[in-house]
Structure 1
């Protein structure tokens, strides 16, 4: 079945958000008296819902995790949002896909309002038919819920015509929960082992390989 609808994760898939996200996490942790010198140790926050990450990686209570998210957004909404870069050749791929008649959608656990600002900043929003993200009240953060919302809003119901692309297991697991095929990308923050073990149908090493694959599906 031809894939008409291509869903993209944002962080680690379309853009490299490492500096902005890790600085925002460091800012939040500092509010709790936790000092972090090496930003690379915070890359594990890229991908999963923030509340889960603060609870899993720093044993925060749910209450403290929600406070941490509020602190995180203090920095992210004014600075971290733009400490970000688009992966090389990604826009060229989006143009090729649109020319091939594909419908492109963003499906991210990041709040929709932030995802829209990032895509506008990089002049990429025009390529996407819909942007599905989480809410600022920390609802709809699970990837399966984000995907479901996008499909509902776009009135898409043939799962065989859809493919989800992401760099972390959450993207793959979310797609599988809805019987959607998925592609894991290695230019982001997930390893081959992570993407393979979570059940990705395809795994590609970079944007060039991703483009070639998508134009054959």
Structure 2
């Protein structure tokens, strides 16, 4: 049955929304922080790390200076490259199918991630989601030139527009308050997913919050007969 969407385009956060990369992130953070003489996080503390740019997180979470944070990010990224950007990563149940179904309904989609774009592209290729995406957008390699969620959202919208997509009614799907705040800068409503790494209050300000992919699907796609 034909489907449509109340949105003209969909932006997707990646870590905690599409992909669960927590096992690899925890391992690399442990090695990195021990290398720099800092206490590594527990799994429960990953909520402080997954979502924001790593350059910011090294400063906020363990008190590094900007220069120290730059060194830590570089060290962490070397580990990631050695591991392979997709090692240990897995899709959250049903999200890949939903992305493909949104694309099949003719709705342009893009990633809007604070993760380095080279890693986002590797993950989307690995999970065969690239063909469903009009644009793959992430942070610059230094995670400073382009990393703030508001700037990432703006770049995703710019690339969609350049590809001829209608961006008049965009929506961002994400799992952190950074997504809500970054979307708000550009008037982009956010659907907050609760299966990622977040605190309950982080959904404040989102247009909607969902607990599972079926709930998300109902907000992104409707059957033509429901119109």
Same fold by TM-score greater than 0.5: yes
Q: Is 1:135 aligned to 2:140, yes or no?
A: yes
Regions of 4+ moved over 6 Å = none
Q: Distance in 2 between matches of 1:46 and 1:85?
A: 15
Match of 1:72 among 53, 70, 76: 76
Correspondence for 1:178 among 170, 176, 186: 186
Q: Is the 8 A contact 1:183 1:201 kept in 2?
A: yes
1:7 counterpart residue number: 11
Match in the other structure for 2:106: 101
The partner residue of 1:215 within 207, 211, 221 is 221
Q: 1:5 to 1:36 in 2, by over 3 A?
A: same
Indicate the structure with greater strand content. Answer: 1
- Partner residue, 1:49: 53
Q: CA RMSD in A?
A: 2.0
Q: Does the CA-based 8 Å contact 1:187-1:207 persist in structure 2?
A: no
The C-alpha deviation readout for 1:7-53, integer Å capped at 9, x for no partner, is 00000000111111121111211111224373333342100011111
> In the TM superposition, what is the alpha-carbon distance from 1:153 to its structure 2 partner?
2.1
Distance 1:17 1:95, change over 3 A: same
Unaligned runs of 5+ in 1: none
| 1:214–1:27 CA distance, 2 compared to 1 (3 A) | same
Q: Is the contact between residue 193 and residue 210 of structure 2 (CA under 8 Å) also seen in structure 1?
A: yes
Report SS of the residue matched to 1:70: helix
2:145 aligned with 1:153: no
Q: 1:158: how far off?
A: 6.7
Alignment map for 1:116-131 (pairs within 5 Å): 116-131=121-136
What is the aligned partner in structure 1 of residue 120 from structure 2?
A: 115
Match of 2:95 among 73, 90, 96: 90
Number of aligned pairs? 215
Give CA deviations for 1:195-215 in whole Å, capped at 9, x if unaligned: 12xx10110011121111111
The C-alpha deviation readout for 1:84-112, integer Å capped at 9, x for no partner, is 11011112212221222211110000111
TM-score when normalising by structure 2:
0.88
Q: 1:110 to 1:60 in 2, by over 3 A?
A: same
Rounded Cα–Cα distance in structure 2 between residues aligned with 1:40 and 1:203: 22
Which of 8, 31, 34 lines up with 1:30 in the alignment?
34
TM score, norm. by length of structure 1 = 0.92
